[in-house]
C-alpha cells in the first residue's frame, strides 16, 4: 500500500520499489507535518494561512490516491493482513494518546473514545473503511462515478461527521477509487507518465504556481472565506456553511445548502485532483536522498503527532509564531527537519513495536503462490 499507513517495507520484501512513489510519499508526508505544525498559528499571518490552505487543498487527496493505487480489490491473505494491521495500529495508538493525555494534562478518555479517532488517526480509519468497501465498489460498472456521487451528496446527511471518520471517508473516496482504477486499468503506464515531456512539467509547475499566486495576491481571502474550514472535511454542508460562509453566502434552506455544498465540494475536489496530478508530474523519477525516507512514511505519520502536540502544549509553537512571518518560516523548516529525522531507519527500528506489531499468530501460513493473483 502506498501511503503513510504501511508497515516497514523490509518486513516482507517483494517487487523493487519505484523511486517516483517513494519521492512523492515523502514529499506529501512532509507536508502533513508542516500543516500540523503551523495549524494553531495559521490565522496569525497571511503567510501561515496561505501555506496551510495551499497544503490542505491537495495533500490528503494525493496521499489517499496513492493508497488506492497500491490497494487490491481481492480478499487475499496479504490484503487481509494489511487491513488488520491498520486496525490494530489504530486501536494501539488510540491507547497511546490516552496515556499521553493522562500523563501530561490529567485528561481521561472522552465519551467519543474509539468513535471519533484521535487527531491524525482518522486516516487509518478512513483507509480501513475504503479497503473494506473497495471489493464491492469494484463490482460496479462505473465505480468512480458512484464514488463521486457519494462524495458530493454525503455532506447532505446531518449526522455525518467525525465519528469513525465518516465525513472524510465519503469525501475522499473518489481519490482512493481513482488510484485503484489507475493501477488496475494501467492509466499511468507508459512513457508519458514514467518520463513526462517538458511541456507537461511546465504546465504542472504553472498550475501549482498560479494557485500559490492567488493566495499571495489575495491576502484578504481568509476574511472573506474561511476556506480552511472546508478543507478539513469534518462536517456536513449545513455546518460548513455555518462555520465558514463564503462572503455573505450562508444558505439555510436545505435545497440551496445541498446544491451549493455539492457545487463547492465538486470544485474543490476537481482542484485537488488537478493539483495531485501536477505534483506527481513534477516529482523526480530518479533516486534521491529522500527516496529511502519515502519507504518509511509510517514512522513519520505516527510519531510526529505526539511531538507536535507537546510543542503546542508547552507553548513553543505559539512563541515562535509570535515572530510573524519569520516564525512561520522557522516552524516550516523545523517541521521538514522533524519529518526527515523520523524517516530515518534507526528511528523506525527503535519504534517498530508501535509501528508494525507482529500479527503472524492471527494468520495461517499461506500456501506457496496463494497471493500470486494479488501481484
Residue with cell 506489531: 357
Which range is least confidently modeled, 8-12, 78-82, 225-229, 254-258? Answer: 8-12
pLDDT of residue 11: 41
Are the beta carbons of 374 and 71 closer than 8 angstroms? Answer: no
Task: Provide the 8-state DSSP code for 373.
Answer: G
The pLDDT of residue 318: 97
Average pLDDT, the chain: 90
Across 129-139, average pLDDT: 95
| Ramachandran quadrant class, 245 (left: phi over 0; alpha: psi -120 to 50; beta: rest) | beta
Contact by Cβ (8 Å): 197, 35: no
Domain boundaries, the chain: 19-357
Residue 152 — very low, low, confident or very high, per pLDDT cuts 50/70/90?
A: very high
Mind listing the pLDDT tens digit for each residue in 273-307? 999 999 999 999 999 999 999 999 999 999 999 99
Of the ranges 107-121, 173-187, 247-261, which one carries the lowest mean pLDDT score?
107-121
- The helix/strand/coil state of 143 is helix
Question: Which pLDDT score, from 0 to 100, does residue 272 have?
Answer: 98
- Residue found under cell 506457496: 368
Amino acid at each position: 500500500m502506498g501511503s503513510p499507513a504501511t508497515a516497514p517495507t523490509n518486513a516482507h520484501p517483494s517487487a523493487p520499489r519505484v523511486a517516483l512513489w517513494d519521492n512523492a510519499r515523502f514529499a506529501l508526508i512532509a507536508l502533513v507535518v508542516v500543516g500540523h505544525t503551523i495549524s494553531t498559528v495559521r490565522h496569525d499571518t497571511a503567510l501561515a494561512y496561505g501555506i496551510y490552505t495551499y497544503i490542505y487543498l491537495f495533500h490528503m487527496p494525493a496521499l489517499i490516491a496513492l493508497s488506492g493505487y497500491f490497494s487490491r480489490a481481492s480478499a487475499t491473505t496479504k490484503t487481509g493482513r494489511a487491513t488488520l494491521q491498520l486496525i490494530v495500529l489504530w486501536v494501539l495508538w488510540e491507547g497511546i494518546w490516552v496515556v499521553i493525555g493522562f500523563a501530561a494534562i490529567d485528561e481521561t478518555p472522552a465519551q467519543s473514545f474509539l468513535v471519533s479517532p484521535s487527531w491524525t488517526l482518522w486516516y487509518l480509519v478512513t483507509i480501513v473503511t475504503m479497503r473494506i468497501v473497495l471489493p464491492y465498489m469494484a463490482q460496479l460498472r462505473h465505480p468512480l462515478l458512484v464514488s463521486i456521487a457519494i462524495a458530493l451528496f454525503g455532506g447532505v446527511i446531518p449526522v455525518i461527521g467525525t465519528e469513525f471518520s465518516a465525513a472524510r471517508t465519503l469525501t475522499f473516496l473518489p481519490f482512493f477509487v481513482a488510484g485503484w482504477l489507475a493501477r488496475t486499468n494501467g492509466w499511468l503506464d507508459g512513457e508519458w507518465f514514467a518520463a513526462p515531456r517538458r511541456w507537461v512539467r511546465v504546465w504542472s509547475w504553472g498550475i501549482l504556481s498560479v494557485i500559490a499566486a492567488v493566495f499571495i495576491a489575495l491576502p484578504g481571502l481568509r476574511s472573506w472565506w474561511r476556506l480552511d474550514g472546508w478543507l478539513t472535511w469534518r462536517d456536513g454542508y449545513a455546518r460548513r456553511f455555518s462555520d465558514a460562509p463564503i462572503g455573505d453566502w450562508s444558505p439555510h434552506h436545505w435545497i440551496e445548502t445541498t446544491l451549493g455544498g455539492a457545487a463547492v465540494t465538486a470544485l474543490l475536489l476537481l482542484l485537488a485532483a488537478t493539483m495531485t496530478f501536477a505534483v506527481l508530474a513534477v516529482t523526480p523519477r530518479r533516486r534521491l536522498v529522500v527516496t529511502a525516507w519515502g519507504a518509511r512514511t509510517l514512522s513519520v505519520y505516527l510519531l510526529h503527532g505526539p511531538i507536535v502536540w507537546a510543542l503546542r502544549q508547552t507553548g513553543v509553537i505559539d512563541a515562535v509564531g509570535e515572530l510573524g512571518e519569520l516564525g512561520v518560516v522557522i516552524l516550516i523548516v523545523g517541521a521538514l527537519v522533524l519529518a526527515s529525522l523520523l524517516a530515518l531507519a534507526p528511528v523506525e527500528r527503535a519504534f517498530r513495536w508501535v509501528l508494525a506489531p507482529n500479527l503472524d499468530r492471527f494468520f495461517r501460513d499461506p500456501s506457496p503462490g496463494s497471493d500470486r493473483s494479488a501481484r
